[in-house]
Amino acid sequence: MKPLAVLGLILVIAGIVGLVVANVPFTEHRTVLDAGPIKITEDQQRIIPIPTIASLAVMVAGLALVFAGRRR
């Protein structure tokens, strides 16, 4: 396969993953107080939403690259 078609295939797969996984959760570790031997940390759960329109746009761009790569 040509490199352009491979990149398009990767983008299509990334778009499908973005549609299936709506949110990406992660834990942020933050130091609240650091005074000598005393250290207080806080763990905070954060969620990054993946917009559906972005996933669809990535899929369409990937399909366009696959078709452009096959034509050359």
Task: Please give the Cα distance from 17 to 26 (Å, whole number).
Answer: 17
The DSSP bridge pattern shows strands 23-35 and 38-49 to be antiparallel
Q: pLDDT at residue 71 above 90?
A: no
What pLDDT score was predicted for residue 62? 95
Start-to-end C-alpha separation, the chain: 11
How far are the Cα atoms of 10, 29, 48, 72 from residue 43, in angstroms, in the given order? 34, 5, 16, 51
According to the model, what pLDDT value does residue 55 have? Answer: 93
Q: How many domains does the chain have?
A: 1
Cβ atoms of 6 and 43 closer than 8 Å: no
pTM higher than the cut 0.85: no
- Mean pLDDT computed over 46-63: 94
Task: Categorize the per-residue pLDDT at 69 as very low, low, confident or very high, splitting at 50, 70 and 90.
Answer: confident
Which structural domain, as residue segments, surrounds residue 45?
3-71
pLDDT at position 43: 94
Q: Residues, the chain, total?
A: 72
